[in-house]
A and B are shown apart, each in its own frame.
Chain A
Amino acid sequence: MSITKETLKLHMKDPAIFCCRREKGLVISEADLEDPSLFDDMVDAGLLTLSPDGLKIEQVLGSTLLQDVEALTPITAEVLDKVNETASPAPEKAVEKKTAETTVPVIRTENKGDGMIHIEIAKADHIEGLKLDVPAFAAGSAPGAALTESFVPVPGAAPSGEKKVIRKLIKKHMKIIKVELGDKTSIKDGVLTIDKSVVDKAVLEDPLCKSLALDVIYPDQRHQYTETIMDVCPIATKVEGELGEGVTKVADGVVFMLTGVDEDGVQVHEFGSSEGYLDEKMYFGHPGCADENDIIIRCHAVIERLTGMTRPGPFAAHKCQDYVIQTIRDELKKYDGEIVREEICEDVRRSGNPRVVLVKEIMGQGAMHDNVICPSEPCGILGGQKNVDCGNVPIMLTPNQVRDGSIHALTCIGPATKEMTRHYIREPLVEGLAGDTELDLIGVVFVGSPQVNDEKLWVSERLGSLLESLDIDGCIITTEGFGNNHIDFIQHIGQAGKRGIPVVGVSFCAYQGQLVVGNEYASAMVEENMDKGGFENNVAGCSCVTKEVAARAIQMLKNKMAGVEIKPAEKKWNNDVINANNRLLGLPETVLLDNGTLH
């Protein structure tokens, strides 16, 4: 169809192609031109060949045709009486940073031509009046839901709202340098000894757990076979106060890794599991994973036959592991070794700053897709409630509660795109938003993703009312996994969007996770993918929220709240655009993992 005046505005710099055969003498208007959003399909099908000599829409409007031209062929200068003048490309310039003291700075950065960076800041006391055109990035392309990512650093430090501390949490990190299996559980001089008979008691915690085995994997022993990785769980314990306040001790340099099979040797959640060589199956250093130098205590569970894809089966494994970890927590409470690092976490209010919330959509489909919320001990099981049992309704936590291990994750199909327990205790978006002096982070909402579509809608509507009542100026919504959960993810974005709340979506989409649904509000999206082919590559923790993803998302939220135009996405996922944005923000390059998924 010829395009409308409205559509025309979005496509002035796209190729000009006639939708129908046009004859000599015609004065070209928008009604004669094909909609550029269809070009990719047409090029793919071989129906259209774009030419470098082809003119852009802005160059041909109002010109007169000197000869007949067929439909679907590029319009070139020789068939027109004139070509409209357009701004010639300016030389490339780096993004300028604002100097601190100016009151009404004007910043212009132009890089026109193919790369198109155009940034204009008319008044930058805060982030008002910011304009920019930066290369769009694309992740999954789906009807109505193109992903876009673009931003510019907010210049200088804006005056922040007054900081009021509501509560404080101190995380005391204590270094573990050695782990042994012995006769009695103890921590002494940085050496953790675990009573090897504890597994016999632990296995009694749940009849579905048939056996439990511990072994220790040092950093130089990573190239060894592992059954599917169900979770990575830190060892942390409360010594003062409730979750989210007081004092927590965290054992550094060591994590638990839960693996599991059923009695027939079938991997738990066999449907995208991560068994294989450990060094190839975990993205070491990502928030949910073990770090390069961590000692891994592997807790391997064998659960009852055929329970691997039920709710109770995997939960039994987690529960029994937690029994083991609790015996260590009890020792950690007493341990008076050196505090290597004190991490001060504050729940604050910064009145006057834009009020924002972080919404984290977590798995809630049942089976192994579940999460225990607010257990008694950090990252524990006991005392917590499962979000599936809670009907997956949105639950508000304070940033400190999240940072104190309020979420124990039971999620592992599609291991690359799921957030494990360790992720939450050091969630980059929570850290980033809580520490941002330009924002006022009201809280972190956890909302489960139910299995059934109408439950998804129901939950999403509850989230919408909650967001409305919070009277916020913006929100970031993340999800884990892809496909099924994208249905509610997009609904959530719609719930915020239709209430006029600026919203940024964060997800793995890339190639395999292209959005299956969309709406008009899903216009500011951040891609998490780190796989070369854009696939779920079964490397645990590969494509999740990282520091870089968080930085891009927060910047995009600021842009969106400031009314900065976010360009529509390219049709296909393109990591170059993500890296262009990384460069704009001074972030390291997003290097994709080559795991043989590239087609």
Chain B
Amino acid sequence: MSNTYEFPLKQHIGGEAVPCVVEGDEIHKGQLLAYQGEGLGSSIYSSVSGKVIGVEKGLIKVVADAEQPEEYEKLKSTTPLELIKESGLVGLGGAGFPAYAKFSKPFKNGGTVIINAAECEPILSHNIARIEKKPEQLIRGLRIAMEVSGADKGVIAIKEYHTEAIKELKKANSDPSIRIKTLEDIYPMGEERAIIREVMGKLLPVTALPLEAGAIVINAETACRIQEAVDLKKPFIEKDMTVAGKIRGNEKLIQIFLDVPLGTKVSDMFEKAGGDIGHGLSDGYGEIIMGGPFTGKRTFPDAPVIKTTGGLIASECFPKGPEKIGLLVCACGANKERLEELAESMGSKVVGTEYCKQAAEVGSTRKCENPGRCPGQVQKVMALKKAGAEALLISNCTDCSNTVMSCAPKLGFPVYHCTDQALRAVNHKLIRRIKDSQAG
């Protein structure tokens, strides 16, 4: 394992943080390394005690001491909102929007704080693991978020099959203003607007913020870290994550690590999971994904764990794709650039790109008009066939994949999905056709 920790200055939405240490500084765990610049952003703290060995462009490197203390340098602010801001906490669902900014406009006449505990990406399971272990922490974090935002209601949205976690939450909760909302198990129930639709019964337009529905949505781990920032005055220096895939030894393919120090090397995480040999990775793997199978990005063994790291998945080797491939992009899964990267790894040339009808452009990105309630895809599939594609590579959510699967194979069109190699790596069922089921 390495003893070097790296802290990129931009691990969030907003401006780069500004370094306040120089090479050679002796630092303590929890000490500020870089402070939030002007405008939106977040501060960065050291997750270890040690010595700064480099302040390069966009990155601070720290060599950790052999002995690491339990304690950390405490935050100095006094009010909850200031503590959240000072802690450097960002939304931990993936995008990394600074947490304090969500609370910048308190509700005037009450509102709802929704905890997103959907943990929607397949394989990832660290959120539920924490909830099962410390349900009271989540409830307390939610309570603080409600106070800070002036909300009078709290909702924990969680998938219905997490019966153990739901039971623990109910046991831990005695506050009548907090309720639990169970969600169906399809991807992308955890998408912000999908959650609001399920909880508030209101489908927001793609350009709207949750505030327009009288709601703030925060990820489950974010709420737990809010509790730590406010009650323990702890800076945000540790992150929960799921390490999975082609782990050497082939035994435990999905492992949970709670409170991993930020800045840890990706390869060190696999060593923790699979041992020293070959950095804990199996001999052949396709790529390492940081994040979940749908929306994660490619990363490398030398990269550090950052604030938004939720999953590290060593995927199965890429199969050899056809010569020409067509891309069908869904706003809820991998974007065009990511699919192009996957196509290249399969050795296929992209001959056409289509977007799901519901994938509306919002700024530089795309959002789904009604997540998980999908239109037909025949037209798009036909267009790609016309463009000369011999197979499809899609990034669609569960429901869309269903519609693709109901036409493409019949047209003699093999369908690859952006999540395939990750799911194969843990022997999970692939995202393809779903079957209907009825209550009764």
Do A414 and B438 touch across chains, with their CB atoms under 8 A apart? yes
Do A457 and B316 touch across chains, with their CB atoms under 8 A apart? no
Digit string of B315-351 for contact with A (CB within 8 Å is 1, else 0)? 0111110000000000000000000000000000000
Chain B residues with CB under 8 A of A45: 405, 409, 414-417, 430, 432
Do B432 and A272 touch across chains, with their CB atoms under 8 A apart? no
Do B320 and A70 touch across chains, with their CB atoms under 8 A apart? yes
Chain B residues with CB under 8 A of A71: 317-320
How far in angstroms is the closest Cβ of chain A from B44?
36
> Of B412, B432, B437, which contacts A41 at CB under 8 A?
B432
Do A44 and B161 touch across chains, with their CB atoms under 8 A apart? no
Residue of A nearest to B436 (CB): A512
Q: Which parts of A66-83 form the interface with B (CB within 8 Å)?
A: 70-72
Do A454 and B170 touch across chains, with their CB atoms under 8 A apart? yes
Do B440 and A44 touch across chains, with their CB atoms under 8 A apart? no
> Of A2, A44, A457, A483, which contacts B437 at CB under 8 A?
A483
Chain B residues with CB under 8 A of A513: 437
Does B433 have its Cβ within 8 Å of any Cβ on chain A? yes
Do B436 and A4 touch across chains, with their CB atoms under 8 A apart? no
Do A536 and B440 touch across chains, with their CB atoms under 8 A apart? yes
Q: Which parts of B252-270 form the interface with A (CB within 8 Å)?
A: 253
Chain A residues with CB under 8 A of B436: 512
Chain A residues with CB under 8 A of B424: 1, 19, 34-35, 38
Pick the most buried of A47, A70, A414: most chain B CB atoms within 10 A of its CB.
A47
Given A483-B437, A511-B435, A2 contacting B251 (CB threshold 8 A): no
Chain B residues with CB under 8 A of A1: 245-246, 250, 253, 316, 424-427
How far in angstroms is the closest Cβ of chain B from A402?
23
Pick the most buried of A1, A7, A485: most chain B CB atoms within 10 A of its CB.
A1
Kindly state the separation between the CA atoms of A556 and B414 in the bound complex, as whole angstroms: 40
Do A482 and B440 touch across chains, with their CB atoms under 8 A apart? yes
Chain A residues with CB under 8 A of B391: 46
Kindly state the separation between the CA atoms of A511 and B433 in the bound complex, as whole angstroms: 13
Chain A residues with CB under 8 A of B426: 1
Do B250 and A44 touch across chains, with their CB atoms under 8 A apart? no
Does A481 have its Cβ within 8 Å of any Cβ on chain B? yes
Kindly state the separation between the CA atoms of A19 and B246 in the bound complex, as whole angstroms: 12
Does B429 have its Cβ within 8 Å of any Cβ on chain A? yes
Chain B residues with CB under 8 A of A38: 424, 427, 429-430
Residue of B nearest to A6 (CB): B251
Do B316 and A47 touch across chains, with their CB atoms under 8 A apart? no
Given A19-B424, A31-B250, A453-B166, A46 contacting B440 (CB threshold 8 A): no
How far in angstroms is the closest Cβ of chain B from A262?
20
Does A400 have its Cβ within 8 Å of any Cβ on chain B? no
Given A35-B427, A457-B167, A2 contacting B409 (CB threshold 8 A): no
Digit string of A71-111 for contact with B (CB within 8 Å is 1, else 0)? 11000000000000000000000000000000000000000
- The number of chain B residues with a CB under 8 A from chain A is 44
Chain B residues with CB under 8 A of A485: 440
Pick the most buried of A2, A7, A21, A31: most chain B CB atoms within 10 A of its CB.
A2
Interface of A is mostly: loop
Interface of B is mostly: loop
Kindly state the separation between the CA atoms of A484 and B440 in the bound complex, as whole angstroms: 5
Kindly state the separation between the CA atoms of A267 and B246 in the bound complex, as whole angstroms: 55
Kindly state the separation between the CA atoms of A72 and B316 in the bound complex, as whole angstroms: 12
How far in angstroms is the closest Cβ of chain B from A369?
8
Do B415 and A46 touch across chains, with their CB atoms under 8 A apart? yes
Kindly state the separation between the CA atoms of A42 and B245 in the bound complex, as whole angstroms: 19
Residue of B nearest to A46 (CB): B414
Do B440 and A481 touch across chains, with their CB atoms under 8 A apart? yes
Chain B residues with CB under 8 A of A46: 391, 408-409, 412-415
Does B395 have its Cβ within 8 Å of any Cβ on chain A? no
Chain A residues with CB under 8 A of B160: 453
How far in angstroms is the closest Cβ of chain B from A17?
11
> Of B167, B416, B435, which contacts A514 at CB under 8 A?
B435
Does A143 have its Cβ within 8 Å of any Cβ on chain B? yes
Q: Which parts of B121-168 form the interface with A (CB within 8 Å)?
A: 160-161, 163, 166-167
Residue of B nearest to A20 (CB): B317
Does A493 have its Cβ within 8 Å of any Cβ on chain B? no
Q: Which parts of A446-491 form the interface with B (CB within 8 Å)?
A: 453-454, 457, 481-485
Residue of B nearest to A484 (CB): B439
Does A584 have its Cβ within 8 Å of any Cβ on chain B? no
Digit string of A168-182 for contact with B (CB within 8 Å is 1, else 0)? 000000000000000
Residue of A nearest to B315 (CB): A1
Kindly state the separation between the CA atoms of A42 and B438 in the bound complex, as whole angstroms: 26
Does B370 have its Cβ within 8 Å of any Cβ on chain A? no
Does B284 have its Cβ within 8 Å of any Cβ on chain A? yes
Kindly state the separation between the CA atoms of A413 and B424 in the bound complex, as whole angstroms: 39
Does B77 have its Cβ within 8 Å of any Cβ on chain A? no
Does A562 have its Cβ within 8 Å of any Cβ on chain B? no
Do A454 and B282 touch across chains, with their CB atoms under 8 A apart? no
Does A61 have its Cβ within 8 Å of any Cβ on chain B? no
Pick the most buried of A37, A71, A413, A517: most chain B CB atoms within 10 A of its CB.
A71
Kindly state the separation between the CA atoms of A31 and B160 in the bound complex, as whole angstroms: 35
Does B47 have its Cβ within 8 Å of any Cβ on chain A? no
Given A45-B414, A457-B163, A21 contacting B245 (CB threshold 8 A): no
Q: Which parts of B376-422 form the interface with A (CB within 8 Å)?
A: 391, 405, 408-409, 412-417, 420
Kindly state the separation between the CA atoms of A393 and B414 in the bound complex, as whole angstroms: 50
Does B182 have its Cβ within 8 Å of any Cβ on chain A? yes
Kindly state the separation between the CA atoms of A46 and B392 in the bound complex, as whole angstroms: 10
Chain B residues with CB under 8 A of A482: 437-438, 440
> Of A7, A20, A35, A536, which contacts B284 at CB under 8 A?
A20
> Of B246, B420, B433, B440, which contacts A414 at CB under 8 A?
B440
Do A483 and B317 touch across chains, with their CB atoms under 8 A apart? no
Chain A residues with CB under 8 A of B284: 20
Chain A residues with CB under 8 A of B409: 44-46
Chain A residues with CB under 8 A of B415: 45-47
Kindly state the separation between the CA atoms of A272 and B166 in the bound complex, as whole angstroms: 31
How far in angstroms is the closest Cβ of chain A from B234?
33
How far in angstroms is the closest Cβ of chain A from B200?
21
Digit string of B259-297 for contact with A (CB within 8 Å is 1, else 0)? 000000000000000000000001010000000000000
Chain B residues with CB under 8 A of A536: 438, 440
How far in angstroms is the closest Cβ of chain A from B391?
7
Chain B residues with CB under 8 A of A70: 319-320
Does A561 have its Cβ within 8 Å of any Cβ on chain B? no
Do B440 and A2 touch across chains, with their CB atoms under 8 A apart? no
Chain B residues with CB under 8 A of A516: 161, 437
How far in angstroms is the closest Cβ of chain B from A82?
24
Chain A residues with CB under 8 A of B250: 1-4, 31
Pick the most buried of B318, B424, B425: most chain A CB atoms within 10 A of its CB.
B424
Kindly state the separation between the CA atoms of A42 and B415 in the bound complex, as whole angstroms: 9
Chain B residues with CB under 8 A of A34: 424
Kindly state the separation between the CA atoms of A42 and B421 in the bound complex, as whole angstroms: 12
> Of A21, A37, A47, which contacts B317 at CB under 8 A?
A21
Chain A residues with CB under 8 A of B438: 272, 414, 482-483, 512, 536
> What is A's interface to B at a CB cutoff of 8 Å?
1-4, 7, 19-21, 31, 34-35, 37-38, 41-42, 44-47, 70-72, 143, 272, 413-414, 417, 453-454, 457, 481-485, 511-514, 516-517, 536
> What is B's interface to A at a CB cutoff of 8 Å?
160-161, 163, 166-167, 170, 182, 245-246, 250-251, 253, 282, 284, 316-320, 391, 405, 408-409, 412-417, 420, 424-427, 429-430, 432-433, 435-440
* 12 sample A-B contacts, Cβ–Cβ < 8 Å, listed by A number: A1-B424, A3-B250, A46-B409, A46-B413, A47-B420, A71-B318, A272-B438, A483-B439, A512-B438, A514-B437, A516-B437, A536-B438
Q: Which 7 A-B pairs have the closest CB atoms?
A: A46-B414, A20-B317, A414-B440, A484-B439, A41-B430, A35-B427, A71-B319
Q: A38-B430, A41-B432 given. 17 additional CB < 8 A pairs?
A: A1-B245, A2-B282, A19-B424, A20-B317, A41-B430, A45-B430, A46-B391, A46-B413, A47-B319, A47-B415, A414-B438, A453-B160, A454-B163, A512-B436, A514-B435, A517-B161, A536-B438
